Chain A
Amino acid sequence: MSEATAGKVAVPEDVTVDKATIKMLHLAQSKGIETIFDRAVKMKQCNIGTEGICCKVCSQGPCRIPLTKAIKEGTEPDNRIGLCGATAETIVARNLARMIAAGCAAHSDHGRSVAETFLAMARGEAKDYTIKDEIKLREVAGFYGIATTVDDNGVEVPRDKWEIAKEVGEICLGQWGQQQGEMIYLKRAPQLTQDRWAKHDVKPRGIDREVVEIMHRTHMGVDQDYRNLLKQGARCSLGNGWGGSMMSTDLQDIMFGTPYPNTGKINLGVLSHDKINIIVHGHDPLVSEMIVCAVNLPEMQEYARSKGANGYVVAGMCCTANEILVRHGMPIAGDYLQQELAVITGAVDAMVVDVQCVMENLARVSECFHTKFITTMPIAKCATGKNTMHVNFEEHAALEKAKEIIKIAADNFPNRGEVNIPSDTNRMVVGFSTEAIKYHLGGTFRGSFVPLNDNIINGRIRGVCGVVGCNNARMEHDEVHLALIKELIKNDVIILTTGCSAMACGKAGLLTPEAAAVYAGPGLAEVCETVGIPPVLHMGSCLDNSRILTAATEVVKAGGLGKELADLPAAGAAPGWMSEKAVGIGQYFVTSGVYVMLGVSLPINGSPIVKKHLEHDMEELYGGRWDYEPDPVLAAHKIIAHIDRKRAALGIDKARERVLMDMADRQKIEAA
């Protein structure tokens, strides 16, 4: 790696606020190992690409049509076109639509593999998986109109869960290939939100069809109306948010358990000196769930001892981490930007990856240590690196494959060299699924979202913001999330978080209940104290952003805060987004009526018209819109201003009067 040290390197203290990361970057640099942080300093971003005006959909290009200063200032007319005549609007919209398609494809394809495994399980073909949450199975069956009871000689009795599961699996899987009509889960949204979708004709027919259609429409010489292209983007995104992602969350909950609040630990300090460290990294819990199960088997424990180890640490990275954290309390080693650093501790005996956000450089860094870099998915292999290997994961023999992987890690344990594990860890409380929030706001008997609404209406809570998404090596690691979130909670905005944003919060201590008294405004702090929750609620992986949709829908249903998602004093933010999945997620929130704030611009600045369409016109269409503000504190205040506008529209910007009821008032109460 001599070429790495030859160039510029990152100044650790400037690129991150996380102590463990600073320590590890110093260590990496002292060892001459290059990381993404260094490459971000060395390598500039492409100006044309960031503006979205490079068209490479045919071999006559790439055509690049930069927005000049003169055009921007209006001294020159905007006559920019590509070889075929494509305008900046068409090129930017096409590129953005393709990003949405890619993002939705990624999440939804993950969902498909979950649905396939689910169906295999229901049919008894994947015996290592089972139904852990039968209540949720029956609830989900209800959404699909699947019978959950059967007639037994005139008596209605519960239907066999495996029968239900088979039907659920079949119908779910059918949603990917559905060609006509509309996707079933759309009807879970508030009616007025559905009405908007119908009015603007963006109800997706089937998941795959909308992705394919984007690929067709963005082919050379097809759809050349940016509004029409972005409309298809909106439609495709709903197929993911209210389809692939939501189904995946639900099916995973049924198979692996619906998350309920649980304690956990985060940061590189969770790695162990005397235990076999297995990192599960990526997004799909099918593999990691099995590894978590398998390490606890006596035979595996014995195997570890035979290798001189005192057991195992299964720690997660990225959203695979979130999946096993919220369900099992398994520790998180770190976020997306820390993946190379984990290997650099020298303590990782196996880096087991599934899909998405796995940096190819992991293979290179692993080479510098004993770490086995194990890919597991047939769709995600890696050609780089001497320590790289592939163990093909098969749902039909899931546990066996998990054991095989664990053994590779255990066999590798004695090969460890120098180990440098930073001591940093932080405690957190995680696992706030929609169901869990409901329960914790009123218990078994009175669980509902009403107390949340009530405290939003009375102003203790100003509003709700979902802060989600990636970490981005072009921004200060973690800080972009933390500065925004701290400013929001200081102003009584409660945060729902997922993905790498949740990890930033975890490392900074914002996911502890004690954080409310330290960081939250007085109203939010009081509510947090009453319920015993942190001011920032960890809802799961980035796939689980669908939980934010269902939670928001519950809020609408609980009443008093409008009739559609767009009425809510709520917003979304992805301050450090980087992947195409984030664009897909952002678009489904916008299309569902949510104001979405980005800290990194979409590649759209090459067309001011497309930018205006996304940041203004979409609000009229869907009730939500995109916005961009790189300064996290300013971004927070734009979000707060949006929330305040919504509060004013709802008439809850004023203090609420205490209503004392007499008998006549009680007679007016509608039937419950």
Chain B
Amino acid sequence: MSKLVAFAAIQGGYNIVQKAEGVYARALEKYGPDQKLEFPNTAYYLPIIYSLLGLPVKTLGDAKKPLEVARALLPPHVKSLNYLPYLGPLLDAGMAAILAEEIVEAIRYVEDPDFYIVSEEVDLEKGKIWLGAAEDTVFRKRGVQFVDGSAPGFVAIVGAAPNPEIAKEIALEYQRRSIYVFMCANQAGTTFSEQLVEAGVEIGWNTRLVSFGPDISAAVFALGFANRAAMAFGGVKPGDYQRMLLYNKDRIFAFINALGEVNAEWAANAAGCVNWGFPTLADTDIPEILPTGVCTYEHVVANVPIHEMIQKSVEVRGLKTTVATVDVPVAYGPAFEGERIRKNDMYLEIGGGSKTATVEWVTSAPMDQVEDGKVELFGPDIKDVPEGGSLPLAIVVEVAGRKFQEDFEPILERQVHHLVNYAQGMMHTGQRDIGMIRVSKDAVAKGLTIKHIGTILHAKLHQDFGAVFDKLQVKLYTDPKQAEEMRDKARKVYVVRDARVENMTDEGTDTYYSCTLCQSFAPNHVCVVSPERTGLCGAYNWMDCKASFEINPTGPNQPIEKGEVMDTKLGIFKGANEFIEKASRQAVTNVCFYSLMNDPMTTCGCCECIAAVLPSCNGIMTVNRDYTGETPSGMKFSTLAGTMGGGNQAPGFVGHSKYNIIQKKFLVGDGGLKRLVWMPKALKDELRDNLLKRGAELGIPDLVDRIADESVGLTEEEILPFLTEKQHPALEMESLFG
């Protein structure tokens, strides 16, 4: 049977490479070799070619070499008798196909620039549903989910389901398991993506239903995404194809569902994917490849009934997924977090445009005053409000337990946002007293009520944080007066809390915390979180790590006795170094907490911002992930992240959180905030109030306005006159390279 697969896939490989050569030749003739070739807003060039062959393709001319590699990889056809072994040749043919397809897709961006929409979301109104290569902001944001486990893997769905309703069922089931669905190819002109649209399912990165493209060649966007993750988070070097593919096999839990008739070109792509360790499951009667080895388990499994496809797929890939079981009448899971509810689909709005009072507040209560699982609603429920109406809402969660500490309150409180968002048909933004909730008509029709918010919070907080409390009850106030009362009460608590965290210092505690959450992807990377250096991803501050350790004592956040302070200015701690050396498997032996010039802390690639040295300005710039433009360092965020991700120490660069910029210890080893000469305008605006405050503390109240941004310039030469004019303090400071 494998022989038939080999026969077909090798044939498919020839077809694809030959077509690609044709496309290439025509493009070369039309545009010339200097035509730029790229996937817009992405790093790593054409990522499959770059990661496997180490060839940076920047122009049409550059694509010649990898296309030649693809041609050379094509093996002889399989003879009917006394044939030569075909497994290796089959995989080579598959790889040839994929290399060729990546070039074809890149050429499509030149020939038909509007074919793909460079965005996180589709634009149904304009009929733009093909997303193509994930731009870097999307990639970083989504890639992190593969790192922290909120996305266990992805399925590449090739072809189309028997009908849109079945497509919807499959998609929903994968969403419930938090698995990303990457869609490509068509079955006689019908695509899975369009079937979902037809069935009224919201597609796009935000719902994890990613419509890459209508052709089989769009499979390269899925594989490219995987390889970018390995380079960005795994520190796999371009050209190290062996590590790259093993990284994917061991850490990226992806697989293919081939729906409908499998032709030779699909077979070639399936064979290509086996190189990555990604198996294919088909609903049709195709030859199977069951013995294990290149993939973890089976390579090709056929005749899988549609209703067993998902269960069988995760089993074949060796993946454990959990479906959140929360007693609500709608689907529930992380995949629904990004779902939008537009005005037209909305039944009810809380806060936001309706300006009703909202607040979310988690507070401790004595054991005898909490009845676990009790959910009370004070005021009207959704059904009491007409369609398109609004309500105020105070969510008060009362927690009791011997192990529960006041410090855990904000941590639990921060969960409200995504836990509410996970419900299909419910959209949540903001936090504390600036939250907003929208509930869709569909969800209300299915029976979703305000009380279900309580059900969700009780079930999920128990599931995730059960170790630190015993009992939890939820009070929901929709009565306007009561809601406002609760909000005012909570506001007083917020003030006390904020002061407590802000006043903590690195000197004031002997215990820091490690964070090795990302080691599933970046095996050598170790974060150490101190009170004044929050986690570079922005998600974990010292308090969070402490709570996380209490909740899960063997988990990724471990206490580190900072030990002897070896350098106060640079922030070198003996205990931290010892821990890092061990946890990084000897890759990193010395880390300066407060410096980018000397042994900076590593990053997995998930950092919110990257600071880089600007030698001519004697200063430092920083750029956040959402800013996609050029920077005075000569590199975009994506390129910077590509240079330094994966747990490597890169002096001159360091990853950090946005909040870290306004923390007192921000790069004090290099001169601190006064060194900051450039940052994107949006980031400056976001942090403006705090920057003003910090400026005042440093004796330069208008420091924020002396910092350049993209409106001033994108090169050091362009910003230097501005800095001089504004008398930026960095210019007067001692040389960074002293």
Contacts and interface: CB of A to CB of B under 8 A. Distances in A.
Measured as residues with beta carbon below 8 angstroms from the partner, the interface class of chain A is: 35 or more
Given A445-B95, A513-B83, A666-B520, A527 B88 contact: no
A532 B294 contact: no
A529 B556 CA distance: 44
A38 B251 CA distance: 66
B88 A442 contact: yes
A661 B289 CA distance: 22
B85 A444 contact: no
A514 interface: yes
A464 interface: no
A671 B315 contact: no
B78 interface: yes
B73 A444 contact: yes
A514 B78 CA distance: 14
Contacts of A443: 87-92, 95, 275
Nearest to A656: B292
Nearest to A458: B292
Contacts of A512: 82
A441 B95 contact: no
A460 B152 contact: no
Contacts, number: 147
Given A661-B253, A671-B523, A455 B3 contact: no
Contact of A446 (B83, B84, B245, B556): B245
A49 B190 CA distance: 81
Interface string A255-281: 000000111000000000000000000
A41 B73 CA distance: 56
A529 B1 contact: yes
Contacts of A665: 320
Contact of B87 (A429, A441, A667, A669): A441
Given A660-B320, A671-B585, A445 B91 contact: yes
Given A658-B315, A672-B243, A672-B246, A526 B84 contact: no
A442 B91 contact: yes
B290 interface: yes
A300 B586 CA distance: 64
Nearest to A659: B318
Contact of A663 (B152, B246, B523): B152
A454 interface: yes
Nearest to A442: B294
Nearest to B73: A444
Interface string B36-52: 00000000000000001
Nearest to A451: B293
Contacts of B1: 529
A442 B241 CA distance: 13
B684 to A, nearest CB: 36
B192 interface: no
Interface string B65-102: 00000000100001001111111111110010000000
B193 interface: no
B519 interface: yes
B330 interface: no
Contacts of A428: 82
Interface residues of B, number: 57
Interface in B304-353: 314-315, 318-322
A263 B3 CA distance: 17
A277 B243 CA distance: 51
Interface string A452-479: 1011001010000000000000000000
B357 to A, nearest CB: 38
Interface string A516-533: 000000000011011111
B6 A263 contact: no
A263 B84 contact: yes
A26 interface: no
Contacts of B92: 443-445
In this complex, the member of B275, B314, B524 whose beta carbon has the largest number of chain A beta carbons within 10 angstroms is B275
A19 interface: no
Contacts of A447: 88
Contacts of A440: 85, 87-89
B241 A445 contact: yes
B315 A439 contact: no
Interface in B379-414: none
Contacts of A263: 82, 84
Nearest to B92: A443
A670 interface: yes
B78 A532 contact: yes
B257 interface: no
Q: By DSSP majority rule, is chain A's interface helix, strand, loop, or mixed? A: mixed
Interface string A638-672: 00000000000000000000111111011101111
Contacts of B251: 666, 669
A414 to B, nearest CB: 35
Contact of A526 (B81, B290, B556): B290
A662 B85 contact: no
B556 A667 contact: yes
A489 B88 CA distance: 23
A420 to B, nearest CB: 27
Nearest to A663: B149
A83 to B, nearest CB: 60
A36 interface: no
A262 B76 CA distance: 12
Interface in A14-45: none
Contacts of B553: none
Nearest to A670: B523
Nearest to A263: B82
Contact of B2 (A441, A532, A658, A671): A532
A514 B85 CA distance: 11
A427 interface: yes
Contacts of A662: 149, 152, 320-322
Contact of B86 (A442, A531, A671): A531
Given A446-B294, A532-B87, A513 B247 contact: no
Interface string B270-302: 000011000000000000011111100101000
A527 B291 contact: yes
A54 interface: no
Contacts of B186: none
Nearest to B150: A663
A458 B95 CA distance: 27
Contacts of B440: none
B81 A669 contact: no
B2 A530 contact: yes
B393 to A, nearest CB: 33
Contacts of A455: 291-293
B67 to A, nearest CB: 16
A450 interface: yes
Contact of A660 (B52, B241, B315): B315
Contact of A442 (B87, B149, B250): B87
Contacts of A672: 243, 246-247, 250, 523
A531 B585 contact: no
Contacts of A670: 523, 585
Contacts of A261: 84-85
Interface string B509-537: 00000001101100110000000000000
B242 interface: yes
Nearest to A265: B82
Contacts of A454: 292-293
A445 B242 contact: yes
Given A429-B82, A446-B242, A666-B149, 19 more contacts: A263-B84, A442-B88, A443-B89, A443-B95, A444-B73, A445-B95, A445-B241, A446-B294, A513-B82, A514-B81, A529-B1, A530-B289, A532-B6, A658-B315, A660-B314, A660-B318, A663-B148, A669-B520, A672-B246
18 contacts: A263-B82, A429-B82, A445-B91, A451-B291, A455-B291, A460-B291, A512-B82, A513-B82, A532-B83, A532-B86, A659-B318, A661-B320, A662-B320, A663-B148, A667-B517, A669-B520, A671-B523, A672-B247
8 nearest interchain CB pairs? A451-B293, A663-B149, A443-B91, A671-B523, A532-B86, A660-B320, A662-B320, A443-B88
